[in-house]
Every structure is written in C-alpha cells, then in structure tokens.
Amino acid sequence: MKFSAQQIAALLNGEVVGDANVIVHTLNKIEEGERGGLSFLSNPKYNHHLYTTQASVVIVGKDFVPEKEFSTTLIKVDDAYGAFATILQAYEKSRQEQKTGVSKLAFVDPSASLGKGVYVGEYVYIGANVQIGDGTKIYPQVYIGDDVKIGHDCFIYPGAKILHQCVLGNECVLHAGAVIGSDGFGFAPQKDDDFRKVPQIGNVVLEDRVDIGANTTIDRATMGSTIIRRGVKLDNLVQIAHNVEIGENTVMASMCGVSGSTKIGKNCMFGGQVGVAGHLVIADGVKLAAMSGVAANILKPNSVEMGAPSFSHKPFLHSYVYFRKLPALAEKIKNLEKELKQLKTK
C-alpha cells in the first residue's frame, strides 16, 4: 500500500494542510507514529501526540486548531474517526481481494453455484444446492449446509458454520466460530417430568451488512425465520434464540443473550452481558446498560434502562444511592430499636 496525502484526501473529500505529495505505506496509532505512516486524531486528550508523532500524515477534524508547530501533514475531514475507518476498510478489502479460487482440499457439492471471484479455502465443506454470490470469501474449515444462500462480498472466517437453508444477504461478515442456524432450544415438558424435543424446522435470515462476532450463535426458528435485519452488529459470544427478530442497525456487545420470540426494534444499543427474557417487545432506539436484565416489554422508544430487572436509568441511579447506604441505614435502625426498647422499659 502506497498512497500520497493528496490521493487519501481525494478519497475522504478532505483538505490537505502541508505536503500533498508525501507518501504513506503503513497505518499507525498517533502515539506510535513512524515515517511513512498514516494516523488519525479524533479524541482531544491525544492532541499532544500530534506535536511529537513521526507519522507522515494525520487525519484530523475540520475544526481542529493546532496550539503550536508540528511537522506532519494534516488531512482535515468532517469526521476523523469515520474517515480512518474508511481507510482501514479500503486497506482490508485490498488485502482480502487477493484471495480467489477454490482449494483442492475443499469439498464443493456439484450442485452448488459459486459466483465470480469467490475464494474457498482448505477443508471447507459446501453442501447441495448452495448459492454463493460474487466476491465472497470463505476461509478454511467453514461448514455450509445444504440449500444455504449467501450474497455477494461476504466474509466467512475460519471455523464458522452456516447450517441448512439459512440465508445471508450481501456484505455480511461471520467471524471465526460463529454458528448460524443451530437448533432452537425447544423442548415440551411431559407428564413423567421428561422433555420431548420439538423439531426446529425454520431457518435464520441475515439481511445485508450484518456482522456476527466470533463464537456467536443464532438459533433457527421453530417455524418461520429468526431474522437479523440490515446493518445489525453482534459482538463475540452473543446468543440469539429461535424466532427472535432484531431491527436494523441494532448493536449488541459481548455475552448478550436474547430469549425466544422476542422482537427488538431498530437502532438499539445493548451493553455487555444484557439478558432479555422471551416473548417481549423492545421499542426502537432503546439503550440497555451492561448486565441489565430485561423481564418486561419496553414500549417507549429511545428509553434508557439499567439494572436487573431493568428500569429507567435515572430512578435506578437514585435508588443506587440508597442501596450503597444500606449498611449505615441498617445500623441506624438497629440503634433506634435499642433506644425504643430502653424507652419502653423505663
């Protein structure tokens, strides 16, 4: 990778301040910058690194005003962090596009259909009637079951499993060990206290630009589909149960769990280790703090909740003030009871 500051500015619709012809060939953190490196500055607490960094080019916001002299070339953009993400995406795409072709050590069923520029790595299994779109990359040891459909420009990383009849849209990413279409947790209690397995005959549908973290599992529906809408981002170790629906552009941090048949709105944000009970409705734009436990519907859009069971964050914070004082309050009550007992004795 070799680009001039001017070429990068053209990509980002930015303005060059300094040497427009300087060449960069690597990416750095600003505090670890080196000659030929490209970095970015978006958090004001890192501003001081600009005056000492050796990075050749630094991306900054248009409103950035230097406090003293600096030696690097700047590219001013509307959103420095977003612009650097664009650069990283372009770099990653150029690296990944080098991989094409089907390994001799992969198994591809003769009835499967592979688009142009598809890469299939070693020890991949692709079942019957699978359809894979142009430019999709499937890394070693991936399993793709019968009748699966995968869109274009997806990345399926090592060890991921996509079980039969599941559907992935375009530009989806499955990280290592993700499982799409495992059985829903369905068992019917019997009179003898045993449980009878309920067959899970549905599937999982991922719409376009869905990212699924490492070792995350999404269960197939009992009937119909478990649906992950466009732009959803799930972190590592997330569990999504059968018949759940997650709305567009919702994000969940690591170790969240959503029980069966719950419907989650769009643009929601869940912190780590959030647990959601089954058959609930969560409105658009809801934010849940880490380790919240949701046991009831949240029907007000853009609500912010925390705690277990969760409730509005402001009353929670007020309540927590008293919770922290419980030992002192208990001691006061104990002393009052002693005084009351003495008064009664007198």
The conformation of residue 223, written as its DSSP 8-state character, comes to S
Q: Is 106 helix (H, G, I), strand (E, B) or coil?
A: coil
pLDDT of 241: 98
Count CA atoms within 13 Å of residue 336 on its CB side: 6
pLDDT of 97: 62
Q: Judge whether 43 and 64 are in contact, CB under 8 Å.
A: no
Q: Which of 48, 49, 175, 242 is catalytic?
A: 242
3-96 and 101-315 share one fold: no
Full pLDDT tens readout for the chain, 346 residues: 688 999 999 999 999 999 999 999 999 899 998 999 999 999 889 999 999 999 999 999 999 989 888 999 999 999 999 998 888 888 777 766 678 899 999 999 999 999 999 999 999 999 999 999 999 999 999 999 999 999 999 999 999 999 999 999 999 999 999 999 999 999 999 988 899 999 999 999 999 999 999 999 999 999 999 999 999 999 999 999 999 999 999 999 999 999 999 999 999 999 999 999 999 999 999 999 999 999 999 999 999 999 888 878 788 887 877 778 888 888 889 989 888 888 888 7
Element (H, E) at 137: strand 137-138
pLDDT of 179: 98
pLDDT of 91: 78
Q: Is 144 helix (H, G, I), strand (E, B) or coil?
A: strand
Each domain of the chain, given as residue ranges in start order, spans: 3-96, 101-315
pTM > 0.85: yes or no: no
pLDDT of 346: 74
Q: What is the CATH number of domain 101-315?
A: 2.160.10.10
| Residue 286: how many other CB atoms lie within 10 Å | 23
pLDDT of 2: 84
End-to-end CA, the chain? 90
- Fold type of domain 3-96: 3.40.1390
pLDDT of 96: 64
Whole-angstrom distance, CA of residue 65 vs CA of residue 317: 38
Starting at the edge strand found earlier in the chain, the sheet holding 26-27 runs 15-17, 73-77, 57-61, 37-41, 26-27
Based on the residue annotation, tell me whether 164 is a catalytic residue of this protein.
no
